[in-house]
A and B are shown apart, each in its own frame.
Chain A
Amino acid sequence: MSARERILKRLRERADGPLEAPESEFAVVTGRGWTPEERLARFEHWIASVHGEVVHVSRADWTVRLAEVLRDKGVRRLALGRAHPVAAEARAALADGEVELVDADRDIESWRREQFELVEAGVASSQGGVAETGSLWLWPTPDEPRLLSLVPPIHIAVLDAEAIEDTLFDVMEGQDWAAGMPTNALLISGPSKTADIEQTLAYGVHGPRELIVLLRHP
C-alpha cells in the first residue's frame, strides 16, 4: 500500500466515526452596501495606511501624470508590457521621453539580471481593487508577467476607480474566480515590508520599496 492509500485509509476509518460538516454563514464578509464615494474613501484610507501612494488621475490624461511620477521618482528605466491598453498607452506617451522602456513580455531567463539590477520601476495594470483592505488584485499575463509587480523597486499600478469592490469575498464571488483560476492570482496591499528586526517597520525587503497607484477616474 502506498503512503497515499495508508493516509487516506486512516482518515476514512476514523476511530470516533464519521464527522458532520457544519454550514457556513458568509454574511459577515459581504453586503457592505457602501456608496462609490465611501468605497473609494476606504480604499484610499487603507492603502495609504500601509504606505501605498494614491494618485488620482483621469482616464484621458493619466499618462501625463505617469510621466510626472517617473520624473519625481527619478526613474530612468521602466519595465512594462506591450499588448495591454495600459502598457500600449504608456508606451505611446513615453516614446519620445528620457525614460528607457524595457520589454517585460520576454522569457525571464533572457533578462533576469537586467530586471533584478537595472530596472527601476514596473508599471502594470490591476484588474480590480478591494475597498475594505485597500488591496489591488492582479492576474499576471504573458504580457504583464508575475515578476513585473515584484522585482523592480517601484511598482506603479494602474487601477480604474469603478473596478474597486467592497470585500475580497465580493471579488471572488462576483468575478467567479472558482470557475477558472490563472497560474497566479495576487492580492497586493502596499509595498513589500518586514518588521522582523525588533518590530521596526522597513519597506522594500524583497519586493518593491514603493507602491504607487494611479487611480483612474472616467
Chain B
Amino acid sequence: MSKIGIRSVTKTFQVRDSGEPPFTALSGVDLEVREGEFLTLVGPSGCGKSTLLDLVAGLTHPTAGEILIDGAPVTGPGLDRGIVFQQYALFPWRTAQANVEFGLEAKAVPRKERAHRARDHLALVGLSGFEDRYPHELSGGMRQRVAIARSLAFDPDVLLMDEPFAALDAQTRESLQEELVRVWQHTGKTVVFITHGIDEAVYLGQRIAVMTSRPGRIKEVVEVAFDSREGDLRADPVFGEYRHHVWKLLRDEVAAAQIQERTVVTSHG
C-alpha cells in the first residue's frame, strides 16, 4: 500500500519585494511511496527536491495539490516523519547522547527510557562509546551517524533524507551508504532519500524517481532490481545499465537547468 501520497503538488514562492510573477518550484508532482520501500529522488540542482521534502515533512504547505501519509493529509511537522539534513543539524551544546534524546524529549518519553533508547540507536549506527562526545569532537561521518540515530530513535515510520552524505568524502559516503541499507533492512522504515549522485541513487534505491528541471515534476520512476545485493554491487554490469539509464534521463534536464541559471544571471546582472 502507499505510505506517502503526493498528488499533483504545486509549490510557488512569492519573490519578496518585487513585481515579478511568483517563483514556481514544483509543478504538478505526482508520486506514490510504498510502505517500507527505499526510494531515491534525483534531479538537477534547483529542481525543488528539497522543497518536496519540506512539504512531506510538513515544514511548508503546498500551493496546490495534497500530500497524504497513510491516506491522511499532512497538516504540519510530526514525529511520524524524521528528517536527516545534509549539514547534520546537531545541537552543538548537546552530547551525541543528548542529541539523540532530543526527539524523545519532544515525544515525552520517560527519562530512563530515553537514555536507554538513545544508547541503543547510537549502537545501531556504530557509535557505542561516543555517547559523551560533543558534535565538534566528532568527524563529519560520525556527526551524520548521530543525526541518523536521532531521527531513528523516536521511531518514525518515514525517514526523509536530504542529501545526507553529500558533504562527506567518498570513502565515508560509501561506508555510510552500506550502513544505511543495513539499518533500513533492520528497521523496515520507509525511506525517501534525495541525492544528486546517480551512483548513490542506483545503489540505495529500490526505485529511483527522476525529476525534471525547474519547475520540478517527476519525469520517470525507475524500478531497480538486483538479483543480489551481496558483493561489489557497483561492479555489476546491471548497475552500469541502470546508471546509464538514469544518466540519460538527467542529462537533458541538467542542460535545461543550466540554461535557466544563465538566463537568471543575465536578467539579474
A binds B: no
Residues on B facing A (Cβ under 8 Å): none
Residues on A facing B (Cβ under 8 Å): none
